[in-house]
Structure 1
């Protein structure tokens, strides 16, 4: 297949690009305008492969996207380009509206025209996969069953509202135009190359530097954690075998409270690189909760596991240990990001 990936230099997008290049024979066009959270280093291992190409354009730039699709002639589009940090969406929702809603519309509009111009088997086989989040479903109480593909939407933040809107646009293009699109919703991802403002990398880095580990409220908020490489495998399975009009909820069945996550990071760092000043749990600092903080997200991935013949390979302990070790081994990358683009002051209470 010839697969166009939007946002392919971001955290999840780069994992998808690496898996496509290293685990399949597909050709890849990476469409990424390189916002603050993107890094070309995330795909450096595959960048010299003749099957790979990167174009630095925005999904909002319809003429540029139209030209890129016409030249590459994709069999599928995997749409991962998005603004994704909840705290940033609270401080400045405009960028989320522009990228997640307007950008998705612009991409759908161009992609539909491209699809309409295809013939025969190429048109019949074309797929548009939109990657979304479980946050569109709102929040769960402790006694509620996990989210499924049938859960009603109830977004609570500017970020999740913008993603919900983009999901609805994708489904509208399927139902109105017959455009062969479908959606995946996933839980919190973690793993290598995660931008330093997100919960797990921020806590690893702050702990290494002896800085406070800020935890919202009492740290009781629960998230279902999925190792990013497992998610990438699921998404490639989806683009290869998924059905237009479907939804696939992708999770790992690994719920943990924010406080449990931070404490486990401290324990792993104490084991792998002890701090002469003592156990790192001393750095945990509880801070005022953020507005509209959803209590719990968790997904039942049974449908995706069955339909895509996929399941997460990493439990949380295995995945977190790999992640902590990666940040220990790749200090140059995150130290450079902190100096150049990121001041380290954001709380980063969510992934």
Structure 2
């Protein structure tokens, strides 16, 4: 079907990258972005599509159910791609209430609006796609098989518990009311427009400003890393080929422990300064500008409470059923990411 799409959280990291991808791949489709523009949302992230035909931005809250209903009706939308979420684990430990409000109640608000508009009368052809996380599955040991879609939910932080709850609500609205839903659980994303609180953008921006890079515990916690544009391609596959009511894992097949990942970033940054002497004048506080290695900026800090040891995604179902494959290798993705932060200091410096 022709997509007329509401993208929630479309001014955030993954959401804006998805919007950029979709407008390039499907320029005739209409997209309405709904975003509350909290600390991690930035309307400037959408500048490249702001004036394109069929793009609209609404500053609002997903918990405002009447607003969501109005948007769906006014624009005659038939698709929701739901990114809007509180997602930083550390913040969920110190302030879990916001995670319940946005991730659980906000998702329920969207589901209520979709049910009201799309299932009324004869109903319309539609899709509600819910973007979730591998963290709902809990933690893996070093030799455990990767998370498949059938893995038992075992969330260990307020963040992952709130996402697990939202996943169950989406499932319930399909089985109880017949809402046409799909859910995807992704591994850790990286790439442009990433607010510098997560590991990769935090490390890059601190390397460039001379700050330290904090490493939790022994640095051996393992994550599976997925370039954000590949995530967008995965959601594209789910929207166009996925079966209603199904869950699809989207992963990078790219496991790194935190310390090894930071070593890659430090080496790449040292090499960037070696190959481009002009960087030293632009980033005078960076270690290479002072004749030092970026590795000197690594410090070990006390481990995070309830820190999951390892995540890994088994995306075989998505590959087999939908034909999805990762296209951006890790070396290429890291180079693109570092290059973006080097070229966009005015975006992250404030």
TM-score normalised over the length of structure 1 = 0.93
In the alignment, which residue of structure 2 is the partner of 1:258? 258
In the alignment, which residue of structure 1 is the partner of 2:118? 115
The one of 286, 290, 294 aligned to 1:280: 294
Higher mean C-alpha displacement, 76-85 vs 272-281: 272-281
1:100: how far off?
0.2
1:132 aligns with 2:146: no
Segments of 5+ residues of structure 2 without an aligned counterpart are 275-287
In the alignment, which residue of structure 2 is the partner of 1:152? 152
Q: Deviations over 1:213-246 (max 9, x none)?
A: 1000011000000000000111122122211110
- Contact 1:76–1:239, Cα closer than 8 Å, also in 2: no
In the alignment, which residue of structure 2 is the partner of 1:331? 345
Q: Deviations over 1:116-145 (max 9, x none)?
A: 13646xx2x311000000000000000100
1:72: how far off?
1.1
1:259: how far off?
0.5
Mapping 1:285-304, distance limit 5 Å: 285-304=299-318
Mapping 1:1-351, distance limit 5 Å: 1-24=3-26, 25-117=28-120, 119=122, 123=124, 125-274=125-274, 275=288, 276-336=290-350
1:154: how far off?
0.0
Structure 2 CA distance for aligned equivalents of residues 55 and 209 of structure 1: 34
Structure 1 CA distance for aligned equivalents of residues 215 and 259 of structure 2: 7
Structure 2 CA distance for aligned equivalents of residues 118 and 167 of structure 1: 27
- Contact 2:182–2:238, Cα closer than 8 Å, also in 1: no
Higher mean C-alpha displacement, 243-252 vs 18-27: 18-27
In the alignment, which residue of structure 1 is the partner of 2:280? none
Number of matched residues?
333
Higher mean C-alpha displacement, 35-44 vs 96-105: 35-44
1:314: how far off?
1.2
SS across alignment from 2:207: helix
Structure 2 CA distance for aligned equivalents of residues 243 and 129 of structure 1: 11
Q: Deviations over 1:246-265 (max 9, x none)?
A: 00000010000000111111
In structure 2, do the counterparts of structure 1 residues 69 and 203 end up closer, same or farther at CA, with 3 Å as the change threshold? same
Structure 1 CA distance for aligned equivalents of residues 179 and 271 of structure 2: 52
Higher mean C-alpha displacement, 164-173 vs 19-28: 19-28
TM-score normalised over the length of structure 2 = 0.93
